[in-house]
């Protein structure tokens, strides 16, 4: 019998598998897809996630392959928050297609000894594991649902997912642009809607935004998108040859409990929201970073099961704040009325002129301000033996520092698990 079976090989499940192996637990990921998803939802990797990769010694390819951006936006307001003053060795966001992020996380999980089985759709839970479509059972002491917003694990465990339905929809287009914006990037928002343009590898650009005149769940066509973008930006930038056209809604929900007995949920299986701010994948990886060392310690008999309750206690409030922030940003992005436009102008001006406000928003968005009862994550610093904390954390163990004992996930510890 396995220590842990993870359902879903998205970014959350892949990071969790690596963490569980680091903690000595046996783990298999069961993934429904035969092949990885070629369409990348996420592009943005925030500073705390970059730190987490650094704390496990896998940050280099991310730094090498990504576009580094020293600021971020809140609700597509024109004035952007400065990340360069954040107290971190990585004061920037990284832009990398989610598909590549997943490849790098998969490499790490496999190198650590995890097993990943594709074309294995889980249809339910059993008393000792999970059941696959072909009725075979994979036995494990613990099951973690990292299976996205429609999580079968969450549903089979009877974990409620309360929240609200979509009322607004954004559009997404990965296309070729014959006349891209001069700098390659653009962010335009006004009473007729919004569009953000960023370059992707392979000569493609991503256009993403909202349109009050075409606000519906159906997948857009190239023609409707041309009209949308022309209306908002005055040009369709010569868009052609779509690689991916999609819509996403603002349905907002959170799992009532992140743990039910031997079943846990993480990432999109635990929280869903409008993808403004580019944070969902980041929070999922950070859920996994909080859960991994705890579940490994419990599953291998080094800690009692009540340690797992701290996963819900610590991460559910972070998910609730994520939902509040993405709702606030959605309200700003879709504030098309004259009053809404005035609110956007006032807030944007404050971001530009009130350094405290800009810093607080940047700290929240970056994930650096997340604090549990024991405190916020301990920043990188030099230890008594001359080594750096982030390097010492690579072993996934507790680290003694001048400011006290630090847990494997980089937060202060109350007491070490033996």
Ligand X SMILES: Cc1cc2nc3c(=O)[nH]c(=O)nc-3n(C[C@H](O)[C@H](O)[C@H](O)COP(=O)(O)OP(=O)(O)OC[C@H]3O[C@@H](n4cnc5c(N)ncnc54)[C@H](O)[C@@H]3O)c2cc1C
Q: Which residues bind ligand X (CB under 6 A)?
A: 7-13, 30-33, 41-44, 98, 121-122, 146-148, 152, 172, 248, 267-268, 275, 278-282, 284
Find the shortest distance in angstroms from Cβ 24 to ligand X: 23
Find the shortest distance in angstroms from Cβ 379 to ligand X: 22
> What is d(CA 317, CA 82) in angstroms, rounded to the nearest whole number?
26
Smallest Cα–Cα separation from 327: which of 104, 117, 158, 167? 167
Smallest Cα–Cα separation from 130: which of 215, 29, 227? 29
Smallest Cα–Cα separation from 173: which of 117, 214, 119? 214
Which lies closer to ligand X via its Cβ, residue 43 or residue 406? 43
> What is d(CA 40, CA 42) in angstroms, rounded to the nearest whole number?
6
Which lies closer to ligand X via its Cβ, residue 280 or residue 412? 280
Find the shortest distance in angstroms from Cβ 166 to ligand X: 12
Find the shortest distance in angstroms from Cβ 230 to ligand X: 21
Q: How far is CA 126 from CA 135, 138, 221, in A?
A: 11, 9, 43
Which lies closer to ligand X via its Cβ, residue 138 or residue 406? 138
* Residue 16 per-residue DSSP state: H
Which lies closer to ligand X via its Cβ, residue 32 or residue 239? 32
Structure tokens at 258: 């992140």
Q: How far is CA 181 from CA 35, 110, 191, 210, 255, in A?
A: 34, 40, 21, 19, 41
Find the shortest distance in angstroms from Cβ 333 to ligand X: 13
Which lies closer to ligand X via its Cβ, residue 31 or residue 363? 31
Beta strand 129-132 with 137-145 is antiparallel
Which lies closer to ligand X via its Cβ, residue 23 or residue 278? 278
Find the shortest distance in angstroms from Cβ 271 to ligand X: 8
Which lies closer to ligand X via its Cβ, residue 33 or residue 219? 33
Whether 413 contacts 407, CB under 8 Å: yes
Find the shortest distance in angstroms from Cβ 405 to ligand X: 30
Which residue, chain included where needed, has tokens 């002491």? 141
> What is d(CA 234, CA 340) in angstroms, rounded to the nearest whole number?
21
């Amino acid at each position: 019998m396995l220590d842990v079976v993870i359902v879903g090989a998205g970014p959350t499940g892949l990071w969790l598998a690596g963490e569980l192996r680091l903690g000595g637990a046996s783990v298999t990921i069961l993934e429904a897809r035969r092949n990885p998803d070629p369409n990348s939802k996420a592009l943005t990797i925030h500073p705390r996630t970059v730190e987490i990769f650094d704390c496990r010694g896998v940050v280099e390819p991310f730094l090498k392959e990504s576009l580094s951006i020293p600021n971020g936006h809140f609700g597509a307001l024109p004035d952007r928050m400065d990340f360069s003053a954040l107290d971190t060795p990585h004061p920037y966001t990284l832009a990398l297609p989610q598909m590549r992020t997943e490849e790098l996380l998969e490499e790490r999980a496999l190198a650590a000894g995890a097993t990943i089985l594709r074309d294995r759709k889980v249809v339910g839970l059993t008393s000792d594991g999970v059941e696959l479509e072909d009725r075979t059972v994979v036995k494990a002491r613990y099951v973690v649902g990292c299976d996205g917003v429609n999580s079968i694990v969450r549903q089979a465990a009877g974990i409620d997912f309360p929240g609200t339905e979509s009322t607004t929809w954004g559009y997404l287009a990965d296309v070729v642009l014959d006349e891209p914006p001069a700098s390659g990037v653009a962010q335009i928002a006004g009473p007729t809607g919004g569009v953000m343009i960023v370059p992707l590898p392979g000569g493609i650009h991503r256009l993403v935004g909202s349109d009050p005149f075409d606000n519906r769940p159906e997948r857009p066509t190239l023609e409707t998108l041309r009209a949308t973008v022309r209306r908002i930006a005055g040009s369709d930038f010569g868009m052609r040859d779509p690689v991916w056209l999609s819509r996403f809604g603002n349905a907002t929900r959170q799992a009532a409990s992140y743990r039910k007995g031997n079943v846990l949920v993480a990432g999109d299986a635990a929280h869903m929201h409008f993808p403004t701010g580019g944070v969902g994948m980041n929070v999922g990886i950070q859920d996994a970073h909080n859960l991994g060392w705890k579940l490994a310690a419990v599953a291998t008999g080094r800690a009692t099961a009540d340690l797992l309750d701290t996963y819900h206690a610590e991460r559910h409030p972070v998910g609730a704040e994520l939902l509040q922030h993405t709702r606030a940003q959605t309200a700003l992005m879709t504030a098309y009325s004259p009053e809404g436009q005035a609110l956007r102008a006032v807030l944007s001006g404050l971001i530009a002129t009130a350094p405290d406000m800009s810093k607080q928003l940047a700290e929240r968005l970056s994930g650096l301000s997340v604090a549990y009862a024991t405190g916020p994550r301990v920043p990188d610093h030099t230890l008594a033996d001359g080594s750096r904390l982030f390097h010492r954390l690579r072993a996934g163990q507790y680290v003694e520092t001048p400011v006290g004992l630090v847990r494997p996930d980089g937060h202060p510890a109350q007491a070490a698990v033996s």
